[in-house]
Amino acid sequence: MGEPVIDVRDLSKHYADIKAIDGITFNVEKGEMFSLLGPNGAGKTTTVEILEGLRDPTSGEARVLGVDVRTGYRKIRERVGVLPQDFEPFDRLQPREAVAYWAQLFDRTLTKKEIDDLISTVGLSDRAETLAMNLSGGEKRRLGIAMSLVGRPQLVFLDEPTTGLDPGARRELWGLIRQLKKEGTTILLTTHYLDEAEQLADDVAIMNHGKIVARGSPAELIAQYGRGSTIVLAGAGEDGLRAVQARGITAELQGVDVVVKVPVASDMRRMLEKLASIDTPLNEIYTRRASLEDVFLSLVGARMQEGVLAT
Amino acid sequence: MNRILADMKAFGTQYLRSRVGTFFALVFPILLILLFGAIFGSSGSSPVTLYVQDVDNSAASHAFTDALNKTNVTTTRAIPSSADFSQYIRDHSINVALQIPSGFQVALAKAQNGTRVTVNLTLAGDQTQSSYGIAVSAVDAVATAFNLQVAKAAPVVNVLPTSVPGLRHLTYIDLFLPGIIGFTILSTPLFGMTAICAEYRSRRYFKLLATTKLSKPEWLAAKVVFHIILLFASVALMVLVGILVFGLKAVVTPMAVLIIIAGTLEFTSLGMALGIFVRDPETGAAIANAIGFPMMFLAGSFFPVDAMPAFLQTGARFLPLTYINEGLRATMTFANDATALVDLLVTLGFAAVFFVVAARGLSWKSK
């Protein structure tokens, strides 16, 4: 295995009153899609901005494409694509103009065909001559991705690329990100959407309060921290909960659903049979595989909604 | 160089698509020229209206009123002789009015016969208005002529107005245009750049640009070059309107071109240096207004620095716009390039300081 594309060792960023990053270590291999997952304020963007050469760390080491970003980012910037958090394109430029302009800032002059291809890659061909201010939120992020790709980068930083987008636009953007990965681009993706990390990432680092609290593939994390699967008695309500608990089964009420955790997969069949024998009104009964949401709850002790920890 | 041109082209495209920016850079100065030219230019000046109450109602008082009308600086309107003079002025909000008293003709006749006698004309009005001063001069001139006539004397000392040899015959617009060019050199880049810095910071464009190969000095250079092109377009329009509408004689000399370039560099850099302190569009506008508006009035864009109180004249020496205005007037209006050269050098000095402060002080990165 060669040198990692990103190599972070004991990296810290401290301010007077807060430790934004507190001694994190991780690496990202070539062609990998790595996700930093965590709530707002966890330190994801600070980490990415250090890797982009936009902030200096307090201590530790951060190397990107083999160079120390503190001293050598200039040497690699044409090999790195960046989509910053809350990206807004230049309002009065058309996507075609914006892509051509951005390429020139990396000393590249794109041909018309190259521009068309890039615009087509992000699915904006029919909006190529629309002023950016008139694009939808999802289209603006697509334009941002097109701009980040003008130098044919080996590494792309996508900082919360789908935040604020509607579900349809998010899924369209996921397709585009998957396509980039398929073409061999290494991607560092930050997100506070658990399903996004689970769907897209090869490797996930869960951050909270500036620290990485868990690291691994989504499957590994779910296996290690997901506490097995769940059986849901939809619509069973409080009467259902009492009936289940009367049989000595541990359960909790989530809304009007009764939820039963099954930590060991081999116990699933026996538990299903036990629950099916309980005579209580309900809408349906189904099983749910553990997800990163369960992992996050297990590790952080709180659920996350739109980047905010639910108390 | 290619990065500068690319950034300039992209910035210029956006700027020209923003109609507000284009209006203030190209159209607003023209409106100022048309407005001030119409108000103060000789082609459109009209006589002061002088209200006259002729209580004497005699041949002599009629002759006096006729003489006032022949000065071409006043036109008279009658106040009824039976009206209360002061009350009439207040009721009709009159700026300036003359009362010719009863006995005016009799007094003149006595004087012609050698009797020592005095008759007093009353000139009432708002002494803060320029029209009052014009009326005083006109009435005084006519009264002097009447006195000479009564004394059967001829004037001894005469004034012959003439132009300075070798100097173009100047009109108001020739003195005013350099000030308006100076005003545009200040306002277009200064207000524009502080707004741009605010937008670039709040929308995180600085961070985005920091990930490219474009450097801060290159970004600033692109803005300077664009504003220079924009300013020349604006000056060309102003000169064209000045010639076509007001018969402008002032000339955009090579020295004026250099001052325009240096001034644009100066205020584009100052705008970016102020951007160091700008966090959002509101503070950007407040800072630009706080610095730009006092400067455009105190530095002699609209009226000469010499007309201001002494302490303000001293203060004006510290304002960068003063040297642009004075340099442009010296070279464009008076063809005095030696004086303009000093102003150019001072402007270049300010420009260099602002450019260095801006390029070093404005951080694209986060702390």
- What CATH number does the domain containing A35 carry? 3.40.50.300
Q: How many domains does chain B have?
A: 2
Mean pLDDT rounded to a whole number for chain B? 86
Q: Work out the average pLDDT over A184-200.
A: 88
d(CA A308, nearest CA chain B) in Å = 23
Full residue range of the structural domain in which residue A272 is found = 228-289
Is A77 in contact with B212 (Cβ distance < 8 A)? Answer: yes
Sequence-distant (6+) residues with CB within 8 A of A192 are: A37, A38, A39, A40, A44, A160, A163, A304, A306, A307
Q: Which of A174, A204, A223 is the last residue of a domain?
A: A223
Q: Is B207 on the interface with A (CB under 8 A)?
A: yes
Domain assignment present for B200 = yes
**Interface with chain A: mutation pick from B209, B211, B213, highest number of A CBs within 10 Å:** B211
Domain assignment present for A114 = yes
Q: B208 to chain A: nearest residue by CA?
A: A84
Domain assignment present for B156 = no
Do A175 and A260 fall within a single domain?
no
Q: Which of B150, B184, B208 is the last residue of a domain?
A: B150
Sequence-distant (6+) residues with CB within 8 A of B177 are: B33, B238, B239, B242, B248, B250, B332
Torsion angles phi and psi, residue A227, rounded to 5: 55, 45
Q: Using a CB-CB distance cutoff of 8 angstroms, which residues of chain B are in contact with residue A155?
A: none
**Interface with chain B: mutation pick from A49, A75, A92, A133, highest number of B CBs within 10 Å:** A92
Domain assignment present for B166 = no
**Nearest-angstrom CA–CA distance, B316 and B299:** 5
* pLDDT confidence of residue A24: 92
The DSSP 8-state label assigned to residue B163 in this structure reads: P
Do B86 and B205 fall within a single domain?
no
- Is ipTM strictly over 0.90? no
Residue A54: which of B3, B13, B210 has the nearest Cβ?
B210
**Nearest-angstrom CA–CA distance, B180 and A219:** 70
Is A84 in contact with B204 (Cβ distance < 8 A)? Answer: yes
Is B207 in contact with A49 (Cβ distance < 8 A)? Answer: yes
Q: A13 to chain B: nearest residue by CA?
A: B367
Do B352 and B284 fall within a single domain?
yes
Q: Is B19 on the interface with A (CB under 8 A)?
A: no
A1 pLDDT above the threshold of 60: no
Q: Using a CB-CB distance cutoff of 8 angstroms, which residues of chain B are in contact with residue A87?
A: 204, 208
Digit-coded pLDDT (tens) for A40-59: 888 889 999 999 888 889 99
Residue B204: which of A77, A86, A93 has the nearest Cβ?
A86
Do A212 and A240 fall within a single domain?
no
Digit-coded pLDDT (tens) for A132-164: 999 988 889 889 888 988 888 899 999 888 887
Domain assignment present for B160 = no
- Name the stretches of chain B with pLDDT < 70: 41-45, 161, 163-170, 366-367
Full residue range of the structural domain in which residue B68 is found = 46-150
Do B178 and B291 fall within a single domain?
yes
**Nearest-angstrom CA–CA distance, B120 and B141:** 15
Q: Tally C-beta pairs within 8 A across A and B.
A: 68
Q: Using a CB-CB distance cutoff of 8 angstroms, which residues of chain A are in contact with residue B212?
A: 77, 102, 105-106
Percent of chain B with pLDDT over 70: 95
Digit-coded pLDDT (tens) for B45-82: 578 889 999 999 999 999 999 999 988 888 999 999 89
Do A37 and A73 fall within a single domain?
yes
Do B60 and B135 fall within a single domain?
yes
Do A163 and A242 fall within a single domain?
no
Do B33 and B50 fall within a single domain?
no
Q: How many domains does chain A have?
A: 2
Cα angle B60, B63, B69 (rounded to 5 degrees) comes to: 150
Nearest Cα neighbor of A290 from A281, A280, A298 is A298
* pLDDT confidence of residue A35: 92
* pLDDT confidence of residue B42: 54
- Longest pairwise C-alpha distance within chain B: 98
- The angle, 0 to 180 degrees and rounded to 10, between the axes of the packed helices B172-202 and B28-40 is 150
Q: Is B218 on the interface with A (CB under 8 A)?
A: no
Q: A78 to chain B: nearest residue by CA?
A: B212
* Lookup: tokens for B354: 């602002």
- What CATH number does the domain containing B130 carry? 3.40.1710.10
Q: A49 to chain B: nearest residue by CA?
A: B366
Nearest Cα neighbor of A48 from A82, A9, A14, A86 is A82
Q: Using a CB-CB distance cutoff of 8 angstroms, which residues of chain B are in contact with residue A98?
A: 10
In this structure, how many other beta carbons lie within 10 angstroms of the beta carbon of residue A291? Answer: 17
Do B305 and B339 fall within a single domain?
yes
Q: Which of A223, A239, A259 is the last residue of a domain?
A: A223
Sequence-distant (6+) residues with CB within 8 A of A70 are: A53, A56, A57, A62
Q: Is B281 on the interface with A (CB under 8 A)?
A: no
Do B287 and B209 fall within a single domain?
yes
Do A280 and A162 fall within a single domain?
no
- What CATH number does the domain containing A242 carry? 3.30.70.860
Q: Which of A223, A240, A269 is the last residue of a domain?
A: A223
d(CA B209, nearest CA chain A) in Å = 8
Domain assignment present for A296 = no
**Nearest-angstrom CA–CA distance, B222 and B3:** 9
Do B320 and B215 fall within a single domain?
yes
**CA separation (Å) from B135 to B70, B83, B107, B146?**
13, 21, 23, 17
Domain assignment present for B272 = yes
Task: Tell me the CA end-to-end span of chain B in Å, nearest whole number.
Answer: 29
Digit-coded pLDDT (tens) for A74-132: 888 888 988 888 888 999 999 999 999 999 998 888 889 989 888 888 888 889 899 99
